[in-house]
Structure 1
Amino acid sequence: MERDDEVRAAAAVYLGVDPAELALTGSTTMGLALVYHGLALRPGDHVLTTTHDFYATHEALRLAAARSGAEVEQIPLYDDPATVSADDVTGRVAAALRPETRVVALTWVHSSTGVKLPVRGIADAVAAANAGRAEADRAVLVLDAVHGLGADAARPGDLGCDVFVSGTHKWLFGPRGTGLVWASAAAGAAVAPIIPSFTAPSFGNWLTGDDQPSPFGAGNTPGGYQAFEHRWAAAEAFAFHQAIGPDRVAARTAELATRLKDGLAEVGGVRLVTPRDPELSAGLVCVEVSGRDPFEVVERLLDQRIVASVTPYREAYVRFGTSIVTTPDQVDAAVEAVADLAR
């Protein structure tokens, strides 16, 4: 428990939150499932998400709705990711909110396109819809933050979300098999634990017969024998970024992503999918190479020791990621390699 508390403390400093509000998980997927199944959804409740979200969100919501009788609606937030606007995205979410909306399930940075949502504006729209509602009828804004954490310096308080879910092995460079869920005091009180926690006071209640309530973080940290060495090492990842400075990390990530986007946009036969505006994108950069299968492109790039991936969605793109471990020379090499394939 002391080691877990060290991870919570390091994460809390980085995120600007109370350590007691942080649950430790094994992944983003686990965190999303804990939240969506822990909320007390009722028949007739409306859950709003988007067509751009990943399988983990869609499937967790489908399973939770099947059990509770809630309705899940998916809406598109943009027609062309390259020309997305913050006002359009915010307006679409606001227009889709209903009196029955209990959950707004969004992803900070879309792994399908690289679009970074204007979460603060969306949070303000949700807050306006919640004005005058009883606590049990509020819409809770839940954010899958895995491609924003470590790439963008905004904290949960800056974003205005109620729940912040992320793995820590991507842009934060923590170990695999690690993650966290932060929830505000009000939202955390509405998320019931669904996996027994091995930490106090939950375990102590079983031994003594007491009924002491657990803080959100401890009560929603799944018990069982986890990959503890990986979890505890996540504290080093938060400390590493904190030592450099989250603002400096975000600026460098944006600088390199902009360099990559600017270079790829000049290549004939290449369509840039991700917005060029740093306010609407982060470290992910997605492109389409005319006449080339994305899997073939990734394979050919790997032959040149350039690692890219294919977006795991129905509409597949070639996806790159710039970060503080990427150099400008590597960015330029990737642009040149794509140009050779597009010729």
Structure 2
Amino acid sequence: AHDHYAQHESIRLAAARSGAVVHKIKLFDDYPSISRDEIVDRIRKGISPATRVVGVTWVHSSSGLRLPIRRIADMIAEVNRKRGESDRVLLVVDGVHGIGAVDETVAQLGADFFSAGTHKWIFGPRGTGLIWAKAENWKLLQPVIPSFAEGPYGAWMQERTPGATEEQWVSPGGFHSFEHRWALPAAFAFHRQIGRARVAKRIQDLNSMAKEELAKMSHVQVHTPRDRELSAGLICFDVKGMKPAAVVEKLLAKRVIASESPYAASHARLSPSLLNDEKDVEQALGHVRAMA
């Protein structure tokens, strides 16, 4: 129940094609009780002999919670040590709100597959994104959209099967939005120029400032953990007596852009980023204070 519609719907559609069984688990009972140990333990207990894939979200857009992906990966590695190659559990991560906001590389996380849009924290163009995988895992995929890569295209011309899937074959064929793709290297270069650690610290500093001040407001309930290891750049909160949509509308009237989390249990969200400074954060906080 913690992940985005796009992840759940992708899983549902894949299961419908393959006949796989989908099992969802709760990672915590309520926001105040969130802990790294319990998250890892609940996932461990949710893995059965039939489990082949564990899908998680690095930073939840529903709550702002950041999962301890490295610890989850290490736990799954322990499970896999007792399994054969064909029975191992794969860790698949939706990382859209982590990449560009957290001081960890994708490779350091330990995931088998990692996907993320790059139009959020990376500041790339809309419609761009990436899929990362360990080199040995690409052969496990079956593309659903024909690739124009040389391998499968050449195999088609020679009327033969192309063989095991390779990395570049997962990118769809057809005519591509090269202008968008060409902009991505500049977006990544911008982050590298500043430094990933500096970017992450700046985002954490602004978000910590906002969370601390929001928590002091008697009419506000903050749901995102204050622990820097359990959060990133999203802050989910509620204002007593107001629906999230009303909070967002009032802030927009003051030229503060907030959002509603797109879930059944919705919250208002603020997201201090590299585009902001302390003055921006304080102005937003002042408008939330005025909602008392």
With structure 1 as the length reference, what TM-score do the two structures score?
0.82
| Residue 298 (str. 1) matches residue 248 (str. 2) | yes
More divergent stretch after superposition (162-171 vs 72-81): 72-81
- Match of residue 119, structure 2, among 162, 166, 169: 169
- Find the aligned partners of 1:282 and 1:82 in 2 and give their Cα distance: 17
Q: Cα 1:232–1:177, aligned 2, differ >3 Å: closer, same or farther?
A: same
What does 1:90-129 align with in structure 2 at a 5 Å threshold?
90-129=40-79
In the alignment, residue 180 of structure 2 is paired with which amino acid?
H
Query: Given that residues 222 and 236 in structure 2 are in contact (C-alpha distance below 8 angstroms), is that contact kept between their aligned partners in structure 1?
Result: yes
Greater length-normalized contact order (CA 8 Å, ≥ 6 residues apart)? 1
- Find the aligned partners of 1:116 and 1:265 in 2 and give their Cα distance: 19
What does 1:7-86 align with in structure 2 at a 5 Å threshold?
51-86=1-36
Note the C-alpha offset of 1:203.
2.1
Note the C-alpha offset of 1:210.
5.8
In the alignment, residue 47 of structure 2 is paired with which amino acid?
L
- Find the aligned partners of 2:233 and 2:191 in 1 and give their Cα distance: 16
- Match of residue 37, structure 2, among 78, 87, 93: 87
With structure 2 as the length reference, what TM-score do the two structures score?
0.96
Note the C-alpha offset of 1:128.
1.0
- Find the aligned partners of 2:166 and 2:197 in 1 and give their Cα distance: 29
Query: Given that residues 162 and 183 in structure 1 are in contact (C-alpha distance below 8 angstroms), is that contact kept between their aligned partners in structure 2?
Result: yes
Query: Given that residues 141 and 165 in structure 2 are in contact (C-alpha distance below 8 angstroms), is that contact kept between their aligned partners in structure 1?
Result: no
**CA offsets, 1:121-151, max 9 Å, x none?**
1111111111132222111100000000100
- Find the aligned partners of 1:136 and 1:272 in 2 and give their Cα distance: 44
Unpaired stretches in structure 2, ≥5 consecutive residues: none
In the alignment, residue 273 of structure 1 is paired with which amino acid?
H
Note the C-alpha offset of 1:204.
2.7
Note the C-alpha offset of 1:153.
1.9
- Find the aligned partners of 1:216 and 1:97 in 2 and give their Cα distance: 29
Note the C-alpha offset of 1:214.
7.2
In the alignment, residue 143 of structure 2 is paired with which amino acid?
P
In the alignment, residue 241 of structure 2 is paired with which amino acid?
G
- Find the aligned partners of 2:81 and 2:163 in 1 and give their Cα distance: 29
In the alignment, residue 290 of structure 2 is paired with which amino acid?
D
Note the C-alpha offset of 1:55.
0.7
- Find the aligned partners of 1:303 and 1:176 in 2 and give their Cα distance: 25
**CA offsets, 1:181-240, max 9 Å, x none?**
011123222112221111222223333446555763211001122322112211111111
SS of the aligned residue for 1:313 comes to: coil
Q: Cα 1:208–1:69, aligned 2, differ >3 Å: closer, same or farther?
A: closer
> Which residue in 2 is equivalent to 1:241?
191
| Residue 312 (str. 1) matches residue 262 (str. 2) | yes
RMSD of aligned alpha carbons? 1.4
> Which residue in 2 is equivalent to 1:258?
208
Query: Given that residues 202 and 214 in structure 1 are in contact (C-alpha distance below 8 angstroms), is that contact kept between their aligned partners in structure 2?
Result: no
What does 1:129-148 align with in structure 2 at a 5 Å threshold?
129-148=79-98
Q: Cα 1:93–1:284, aligned 2, differ >3 Å: closer, same or farther?
A: same
Query: Given that residues 81 and 115 in structure 1 are in contact (C-alpha distance below 8 angstroms), is that contact kept between their aligned partners in structure 2?
Result: no
